[in-house]
């Protein structure tokens, strides 16, 4: 079984069983327009799929994992401890692109990773290796960019950080082998998905009060207009015979219900609760278009994800 390569905020590892229980018993191709860290995708390992993300560096990383896993591993093996002195043979050994002092190897590599947004120049393999290295050595595995697109998370504190993960990269490469990887808007799926396919939407969102109104919803880079577009896309797909599963903030309970989806709530400890009147601690919802009689159910996680014609 493949595993995510990156630590990723909002990852769905704790919700995998709940999500699988809302999948159809069988379907054709799988599509994930907001793949992020890929917790569900890598666990599922679909035989035919498309994945997409708006982050170009994340998409480039997945392409590198798919196409050149050994090159990526080789490059990762050459990185030094994040607390080591900067490497004088590499750029930014003393100052960053913006003239800030560099006092540790980690910050030199962070500056190198930021060449794409700051200078427009980058090597895909080197950038992919830097992405993994920084993700495994930065504070709490966060991914955060400033207004100019520069990764700005400080160094983390780890006794023996492991940033290579050879077997994980190789398994991920196998899972991505026949996958179409895209970098764009989620709406591509309106053209990519056919009747009988499955689409899982996991858009950017922030936990909100269960009393918050839909019109108050806002998330960095994905606002309420985007949420409306997403809901329109989801209902269009359902009308075409495509299976749809969504996860989102609890504030989307009513809009998803009104759209005809079956919605369950997830409380702060990620326990599924279908009682709409008992949502005091709710910060997430899972919605599905799949009728209860056609779902996998709680004990069918290992079923095949692809139906042969």
In this prediction, residue 268 carries a pLDDT of 47
Q: What is the mean pLDDT of residues 139-161?
A: 93
Residue given tokens 């749809």 in the structure block? 244
pTM confidence score: 0.89
Q: What is the mean pLDDT of residues 10-27?
A: 90
Could you tell me the two tokens for 233? 């896309």
Specify the DSSP class assigned to residue 198.
E
Give helix 56-67 / helix 69-76 axis angle, nearest 10°.
110
pLDDT tens digits for range 90-117: 999 999 999 999 999 999 999 999 999 9
β-bridge mates for residue 223, sequence order:
218
Q: What is the mean pLDDT of residues 59-63?
A: 98
Residue given tokens 């799949």 in the structure block? 290
Q: What is the mean pLDDT of the chain?
A: 89
In this prediction, residue 110 carries a pLDDT of 98
Instruction: Report angle CA 45, 47, 53 to the nearest 5 degrees.
Output: 65
Residue 247 CA: distances (Å) to CA of 33, 112, 156:
12, 35, 30
In this prediction, residue 209 carries a pLDDT of 58
Percentages (nearest 5) of helix, strand, coil residues in the chain: 35, 15, 45
pLDDT tens digits for range 121-133: 999 999 999 999 9
pLDDT tens digits for range 185-242: 999 999 999 999 999 999 987 656 555 555 444 445 788 899 999 999 999 999 999 9
Q: Which of 36, 4, 30, 50 is nearest to 171 (CA)?
A: 4
In this prediction, residue 218 carries a pLDDT of 43
Give the pairing of strands 243-249 and 198-201.
Answer: parallel
Half-sphere exposure of 63 (CA within 13 A, CB side): 17
* Separation CA 195–CA 214 (nearest Å): 30
Contact 46, 304 (CB under 8 A): no
Q: Which of 224, 210, 176 is nearest to 65 (CA)?
A: 176
In this prediction, residue 303 carries a pLDDT of 39
- The CB density around residue 147, as the number of other CB atoms within 10 Å, is 6
In this prediction, residue 276 carries a pLDDT of 52
* Separation CA 284–CA 75 (nearest Å): 38
pLDDT band at 272 (very low <50, low <70, confident <90, very high): low
């Amino acid at each position: 079984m493949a595993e995510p390569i990156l630590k990723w905020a909002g990852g769905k590892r704790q919700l995998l069983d709940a999500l699988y229980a809302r999948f159809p018993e069988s379907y054709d191709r799988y599509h994930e327009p907001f793949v992020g860290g890929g917790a569900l995708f890598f666990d599922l390992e679909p035989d035919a799929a498309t994945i997409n993300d708006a982050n170009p560096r994340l998409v480039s990383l997945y392409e590198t994992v798919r196409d050149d896993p050994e090159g990526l591993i080789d490059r990762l093996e050459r990185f030094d401890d994040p607390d080591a002195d900067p490497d004088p043979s590499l750029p930014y050994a003393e100052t960053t692109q913006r003239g800030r002092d560099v006092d540790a190897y980690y910050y030199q590599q962070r500056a190198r990773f930021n060449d794409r947004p700051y200078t427009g120049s980058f090597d895909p393999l080197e950038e992919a290796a830097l992405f993994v290295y920084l993700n495994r050595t930065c504070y709490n595995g966060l991914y955060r960019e400033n207004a100019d697109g520069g990764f700005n998370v400080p160094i983390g504190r780890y006794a023996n950080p492991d940033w290579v993960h050879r077997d994980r990269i190789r398994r991920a490469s196998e899972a991505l082998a026949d996958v179409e990887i895209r970098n764009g808007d989620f709406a591509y799926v309106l053209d990519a998905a056919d009747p009988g396919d499955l689409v899982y939407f996991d858009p950017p969102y922030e936990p909100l009060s269960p009393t918050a109104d839909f019109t108050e919803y806002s998330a960095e880079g994905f606002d309420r207009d985007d949420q409306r577009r997403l809901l329109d896309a989801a209902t269009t797909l359902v009308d075409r015979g495509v299976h749809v599963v969504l996860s989102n903030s609890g504030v989307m309970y009513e809009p998803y219900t009104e759209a005809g989806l079956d919605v369950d709530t997830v409380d702060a400890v990620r326990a599924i609760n279908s009682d709409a009147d008992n949502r005091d601690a709710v910060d997430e919802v899972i919605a599905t278009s799949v009728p209860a009689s056609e779902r996998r159910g709680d004990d069918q996680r290992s079923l095949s994800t692809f139906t042969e014609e």
